[in-house]
Amino acid sequence: MNDMEMRHTKDNLESQEYTQREKTVKTLFLICSMFALGLEQELTGTTLKDLIILTNSNYEVMARAMVGSSVGYIILAVLGGPLVDRFGGYCDLMVALCLSVSALATLLTPYTPLFGVLWALFCVRGMCAGLQNIAGQTILIGLWKEKATGPLHVLHFGYGIGAIIVPLILNPFLAVLSPDSTNETSSIGQILNVTDQHIPLKNDNETISQYLKVSRIKTGYLIVAIIVASVATVFVFYQFCYRRIIHVSIKTVKGKIKIRELAKFIDPKKCTGGNRLYSVQIMGLLFFYFFNTIGGEIIIKTYLRSYSIDKLNFSGDDGSILNTAFAISYTLSRLAGLITSRYVPVRILVVLESFGLVVTTVLLEIFARNSKQALWILSIFLGMFVSPLYPSGMGWGNYFINLTGTAIAFIVTSSAFGAMVYGWLLGYLYQNYGYEMFLHQTLACGGMVFFCTILMAVVTHGSKGRYNKSNTDLKEESDE
């Protein structure tokens, strides 16, 4: 029995040793980790305008800084997949380390006016989020196997809870924009009982904006960092004190990973029991799907509040409430996915969800240019349809191939590329061509995701999936 076979045997025995109750407990721990990830990752959308103030920059510059997060995702996706496959027994420790380092980077983010340092902090946060995603989802899929689609929705439901809470935490600390640049600023400031302060916002040759209330997001970032670090301690406890120890008569292999062994880890045929071409087809579709899905999700979360304030003249508080309403819809939709995934096949579910998204983006393009009411209503539907696309996509991939740690790392890489391209592009367009570019790019994303799901349905038409006992072409475990 070679090293690869021994690790597969150990993984199978671990999965069989967990009772239903223990699976549920471990899933709850993972949901807590995604809750912390949601808090940390959704900071940027709520505080984007304040970060621009603190760094004396503009949307295009901040978009370039946020690219660091995508670069970090890519780095850890390349390294994290083989790392998780090799040291699967330490996934809980990986999650704990990721949360701890991410908490520190989050704490430092609002303290630097230097672009290079800010980019590096975003990069570190992206690296931590990438490895945490790979490790957490590998654990969950290993626990639930063919029943993983529902738990994946619940896992990402935790992320949505974090997205709901973070605007509520940060709203008291956000800057308040002055209605105009006249002497009314002073009297309004007295009514609000806050200190008047004119904070310069360098935006090429545009007029300097004035703010009634100083940004205090450093306090908000501290609160979030403390919560994230607290969740990390839970996983340290789980790894070393609570983790079920399974005695398997497998000799531990010591030494460095050999090139040949590493090649086996990343070989696509490992996901399908030997059918390399089929695996490449599915992984190619997943790359295209997650590139557009996560790219679109990132720009919606990041720019929704800014668009409402810049284009439709929402107040700062109303913009934060809009963000919260979107996050509530986003979260409830993932909880609903636990139910719908039990009754609707995942290969149909992704098509229905993407169809709902493209219809919503079309309506946004038509009605949300000048109507506050339309933006309020359609933001709810936007959250409803964009939210389940990620877990449903993972469930779709898991239905057809064995999503190893390396396969999940590949998906995380595609997600990071999508976030980087979409985010950078919209930052440039939003700054230089107007606020309506947010609606245009959201519509483009909805169309691309819908086209991709149709392509996925066509390519896999007639395939029975890897868990169908009558399917002789695919096997659940690798032959290697």
Residue 382 pLDDT > 90, yes or no?
A: yes
52, 227 Cβ separation under 8 angstroms: no
How remote is the C-alpha of 445 from its chain's centroid?
16
- As a dihedral over the C-alpha atoms of residue 189, residue 194, residue 198, residue 204, rounded to 10 degrees, the angle is -100
Name the percent of the chain lying above pLDDT 70.
76
Task: Copy the structure tokens of residue 269.
Answer: 């045929």
Q: Whole-model pTM above 0.75?
A: no
Most confident of 321-335, 363-377, 451-465: 363-377
Give the other-Cβ count within 10 Å of 266's Cβ. Answer: 16
Q: Using an 8 Å Cβ cutoff, are 361 and 446 in contact?
A: yes
Q: What backbone phi and psi angles, to 5 degrees, belong to 213?
A: -125, 130
**CB–CB of 292/449 below 8 Å?**
yes
Are 298 and 291 contacting, i.e. CB atoms less than 8 angstroms apart?
A: no
Residue 220 has pLDDT above 60, yes or no: yes
**pLDDT at site 82:** 74
Q: What is the mean pLDDT of the chain?
A: 77
Residue 451 corresponds to which tokens in the numbers above? 């086209």
Question: What percentage of the chain exceeds 90 in pLDDT?
Answer: 24
Identify whether the C-beta of residue 121 lies closer than 8 Å to the C-beta of residue 105. Answer: yes
CB atoms within 10 A of CB 140: 22
The whole-number average pLDDT for the span 225-235 is 86
- Model pLDDT for residues 140-191, shown as the tens digit of each residue: 877 777 677 677 777 878 888 888 888 888 888 887 766 553 333 333 233 3
Q: Residue 479 corresponds to which tokens in the numbers above?
A: 């032959």
H, E, C per residue of 218-229 = HHHHHHHHHHHH
Query: For residues 414 and 288, what is the distance between their CA atoms, to the nearest angstrom?
Result: 7
Q: What distance in Å separates the CA atoms of residue 167 and residue 330, rounded to the nearest whole number?
A: 14
320's enclosing H/E stretch is helix 316-343
Six token digits for residue 249: 């008569």
Choose the weakest-confidence range: 128-137, 205-214, 333-342: 205-214
Spatial contact of 266 and 81, defined as CB atoms under 8 Å apart: yes
169 phi, psi to nearest 5 deg: -70, -40
Whole-angstrom distance, CA of residue 64 vs CA of residue 284: 27
How many Å apart are CA 161 and CA 384, to the nearest integer?
A: 14
Q: What is the pLDDT of residue 378?
A: 95
pLDDT at res. 317: 82
Question: At 444, is the secondary structure helix, strand, or coil?
Answer: helix
Q: Is the pLDDT of residue 395 over 80?
A: yes
Q: Burial of 232 by CB count in 10 Å (0-12 exposed, 13-18 middle, 19+ buried)?
A: buried
List C-alpha distances in Å: 122 to 65, 74, 220, 398, 415: 7, 13, 17, 30, 16
On the question of pLDDT at 256 being above 70, the answer is no
Query: Is residue 441 predicted with pLDDT exceeding 90?
Result: yes
Amino acid at 151: P
Q: What is the pLDDT of residue 13?
A: 38
Give CA angle at 160 (156, 165), nearest 5°: 145
pLDDT at 373: 94
When comparing pLDDT for 334 and 266, which is higher? 334
> Each residue of 433-446: b (16+ CB within 10 Å) or e?
eebebbbebbbbbb
Query: In this predicted model, which residue has the larger pLDDT, 443 or 81?
Result: 443
The residue-averaged pLDDT of 64-73 equals 86
The pLDDT value recorded for residue 252 is: 34
Q: 91-108 vs 217-237: helix axis angle to the nearest 10?
A: 170
pLDDT at 104 over 90: yes
Residue 176's φ and ψ, nearest 5 degrees, are -110, 120
Element housing 213 (H / E): strand 211-213
Phi, psi of 177 (to 5 degrees): -75, 135
Short-list 306, 291, 302, 326, CA closest to 160: 326
Query: Band of the pLDDT at 447, cuts 50, 70, 90?
Result: very high
pLDDT at 427: 87
Other beta carbons less than 10 A from residue 328's beta carbon: 16
Provide φ and ψ at 108, rounded to 5°.
Answer: -85, -20
For 176, the 3-state DSSP assignment is strand
pLDDT of 389 over the 70 cut: yes
- Which secondary-structure segment (H or E) carries 211? strand 211-213
pLDDT at 120: 92
